[in-house]
Amino acid sequence: MRLLVTGGAGFIGSHYVHHVLSTTDDQVTVLDALTYAGSLQNLGPALHSDRLTFVEGNILDGGLVDDLVKTHDAVVHLAAESHVDRSFLAGGHFLTVNVLGTQLLLDAARRHRVGKFVHVSTDEVYGPLPEGAAAEDAPLRPTVPYAASKAASDLVALSAYATHRVPVCVTRSSNNYGPRQHPEKVIPRFVTRLLKGERVGLHGRGEHVRNWIHVSDNAAGIDLVLRHGRPGEVYNLGGGTDLTNQQLTEHILRACGAGWDRVDYIPDRQSNDLRYAMTWTKAARLGYGPNRGFEGGLEQTVDWYRANTGRWAPPHRNADSPVCRVLMSRPAPPV
C-alpha cells in the first residue's frame, strides 16, 4: 500500500511511521510543514529507508495536497496544531489548520477515491465528564479552542463519509506519552525541568484526571483502524492508566529521583477540564488493547530524555509565531 501520513515528523506521527515501516511492506510518504512542533530528527534513520519519502509542505497547500493524495492508496491524517495552551492565544490559526486543512485533504481523497482515510483525533472532544466514560456516540462538548477545532474536524471528516462516501475512520485517543514528545507537553516539561535541577508547577490542587496511553499503543491502534476499521466509524483508543495530575507528578518525581520539595502549586489555567474518560470496547473488538504498562513506559520515556539532552529544547523554526505562513498558496482543483 502507498500510504500518505500527514504530520509524520511530529510526536505521534513519527511513532506511527516507525510502526508502519517495521511491521509492513508499505511505502510511506510523510507530508509535514516542520512547524515548531515537527522535527526531522523524529524520523531519524527511517529517513534513509527507500520506503519513506519526506515532503516538506503544508496541508493548507491545496495543489500540493492534491498532487500527493493522487498517488496514494490511503491517508493517515495527524497534522494539526496540538497544544491547548497555544490555542488560547491563536484560536483562528487552530481552526484554519485543523479544520480547513482536514477539509482540503478530504476533498482530494474524494477526487482521487482513496481506499481509506484515518483522521486522528482526541478524547478532549467529549469535554469533561464528572463520572462515567464516553463511548464513541457520546455528545461532543469541547471546552477549549484546541478541542473545539478537533471536534469540528471530526464532524467534517464524518460528513465526507455521509455525503460522499469518502471511506473515513476517526480515532480518538487519550493523552499520549513516550519518547520524542515536544517539551511543551506536561510529561516532557516536568521530566526535563527535574533533570535540569529546576522546579515544576502543578496547576490548581493537581486534581485533574487524565487517561494516559503510551504512544506506541496509539500507533498500533491507528494502524489497526486503517486496516480493519469500518468506514464512517469512530474508534476510541484509550490507555490503561487514569491518574490525577497529583498522582502523575508523584510518578514523574520518583522516575526522576526528585521529591515534592521541587513542586510549586500554581494557579490553574484559564480553562482546564476536570476529568476525561472514555471506553474503547469498539476498538477492542478489532483487536486493540494497550500493551505498555505506565511505570515501564514512563521509565523508558525518562531514560530517553536523559540520553537526548539536545532534544530538551528542539531548534524551533516558527517558534515565536503561531501564524502559519503558507495559506492556500496553490488552490486545489475544484471538487
Annotated active-site positions, please?
123-124, 146
- Whose Cβ is closer to ligand NAD: residue 103's or residue 173's? 173
- Whose Cβ is closer to ligand NAD: residue 27's or residue 87's? 87
Residue where the block lists cell 516532557: 188
Spell out the alpha helix ranges (H) of the chain.
11-23, 62-70, 84-89, 91-95, 101-111, 145-164, 186-195, 215-228, 245-256, 281-286, 294-307
Candidate residues 120, 157, 168, 302; the one interacting with ligand NAD per rule CB under 6 A: 120
What is the rounded CA–CA span in Å between residue 65 and residue 107?
Answer: 10
Site for ligand NAD in 184-213 (CB under 6 A): none
Candidate residues 37, 84, 152, 157; the one interacting with ligand NAD per rule CB under 6 A: 37
CA distances 245 to 148, 201, 205, Å, are 23, 11, 9
Q: Which region among 8-16, 128-136, 195-203, 296-304 touches ligand NAD (by CB under 6 A)? A: 8-16
Query: Is residue 13 a contact residue for ligand NAD (CB under 6 A)?
Result: yes
Q: Is 76 helix (H, G, I), strand (E, B) or coil?
A: strand
What is the rounded CA–CA span in Å between residue 301 and residue 255?
Answer: 10
Spell out the alpha helix ranges (H) of 165-293.
186-195, 215-228, 245-256, 281-286
Site for ligand NAD in 137-166 (CB under 6 A): 150
What string marks each residue from 263 to 292 as x (binds ligand NAD by CB under 6 A) or -?
------------------------------
Calculate the dihedral angle through the C-alpha atoms of 252, 215, 8, 285, rounding to the nearest 10 degrees: -160
Please answer whether residues 189 and 152 qualify as being in contact, where contact means their C-beta atoms are separated by less than 8 angstroms.
Answer: no
Least distance from ligand NAD to the Cβ atom of residue 162, Å: 21
Query: Is residue 11 a contact residue for ligand NAD (CB under 6 A)?
Result: yes
Least distance from ligand NAD to the Cβ atom of residue 181, Å: 7
Query: Is residue 82 a contact residue for ligand NAD (CB under 6 A)?
Result: yes
C-alpha cell at 318: 516558527
- Whose Cβ is closer to ligand NAD: residue 258's or residue 311's? 311
**Which residues lie near ligand NAD (CB under 6 A)?**
6-7, 9-13, 32-35, 37-38, 58-60, 78-82, 97, 101, 120-122, 150, 173, 175-176, 182, 324
